Amino acid sequence: MKQIHLRVNEEIYNKIKNEVKIKKTTMQEYIIKTIGKDLTIKESPANYNVRPEKYKFKFIDLFAGIGGTRLGFESAGGKCVFTCEWDKYCQITYEKNFGDKPFGDIRLVDVKVIPPYDILVAGFPCQPFSLAGVSKKNSLGRPTGFLDKTQGTLFFEVARILKGYIDENTGETKKPKAFLLENVKNLVTHDKGRTFNIIKNTLNELGYKIFYKVIDAVDYVPQHRERIFIVGFNKEIYGKNIQFDFPEKPDIPEPTLKDILDDSVDAKYTLSDKLWNYLQEYAKKHKAKGNGFGYGLADINSHSRTLSARYHKDGSEILIPQKGKNPRKLTPRECARLMGFHDDFKIEVSNTQAYHQFGNSVVVPVIEAIAGQIVEVMDNERLNNNLRNNLQKVL
């Protein structure tokens, strides 16, 4: 990334400042976008390290978070050639673990400058569609789904990149062979299914055959966590009869919460008497009203509730019982394990940011399993094409 220092007179400065205020952006983003239009380019992606050295396919990682999806696709033999994530703290964690600082604003990404790749993966923002997100926005009288101007419409940025572009030299359409999108389960039912229908129709119109399924991560990690996964294949390459099956339940021992817990944990993770009393009274109040709201005291021989991005506030959805003491919160490292991250994954942000990041992340083993299925279909189709071509030569 190169830097340019500009000196402008007061009149130009005030005009830029006014435009930034109107467009609700930053000076840097406004200037990059404005200059980019004149030069018919946008900011170029960074050069990424070769990880791993040998790879079967290339992929790009959009709305990358801290890289859970990248880990899953690397395990399937992929090399990440471009990443986009605008949260500055997620960028820190991502760079610490992968050596790459993600591109920031997806709206400034020019599809023509993304390096050649095979698979697009994206966990586009889920707050406009999640049960918690919809409930909060409704209470504030704010729009949800595609009416949410700050996040909901970002799906169409993914669609813009999936659409690709026509190579001016060859006339060939440059677009990915396949994709994986991830979101909250509630996406399917949001706005009586209309939101999801828009997404499906958009992907179909772009020339992809799609498959989708809600998968509970409880078969992979000791956490009840349902997410929808949408897989698509380019019909120009694979035809409209391409078939895909999501992974079956893994043949592994049932994961339990005690498997991811540390033997010794700092006392600071134990709830104070004040907070523990508050959570108990809060639960009693809602139980009397017939509501199910309240803390979750976990069974360490089973699985936990869903880890959320708000876990840092009080840890109430997953509390670990302690003999003779108040229950405690999970540590950030335990949260990482609950999401399927190995212990060599670096956590160098504050506990508050770490909780937020893991609560928003994907479950890595689920991504690994789906990535493996996608790559298997692509490999099989490649082998079938080679066989057909060789047969034609013989005949």
Catalytic center residues: 126
CA dist 250 to 180, 189, 363, Å? 20, 27, 14
Query: How far is the C-alpha of 299 from the C-alpha of 311, rounded, in Å?
Result: 18
Per DSSP, the residues of 44-57 read: PPPPPP-SSSS-SE
Residue type for 206, please? L
CA dist 354 to 209, 253, 278, 310, 342, Å? 36, 28, 25, 11, 15
The interaxial angle of helices 155-163 and 194-205, nearest 10 deg, is 10
State how beta strands 119-122 and 165-166 pair: unpaired
State how beta strands 178-184 and 226-234 pair: antiparallel
The torsion angles phi and psi of 195, rounded to 5 degrees, stand at -60, -50
Query: How far is the C-alpha of 75 from the C-alpha of 257, rounded, in Å?
Result: 24
**C-alpha 316: how far from chain center:** 24
CA dist 170 to 161, 167, 301, Å? 19, 6, 59
Residue 359 DSSP code: H
Centre a 10 Å sphere on the Cβ of residue 166 and count the other Cβ atoms it contains: 11
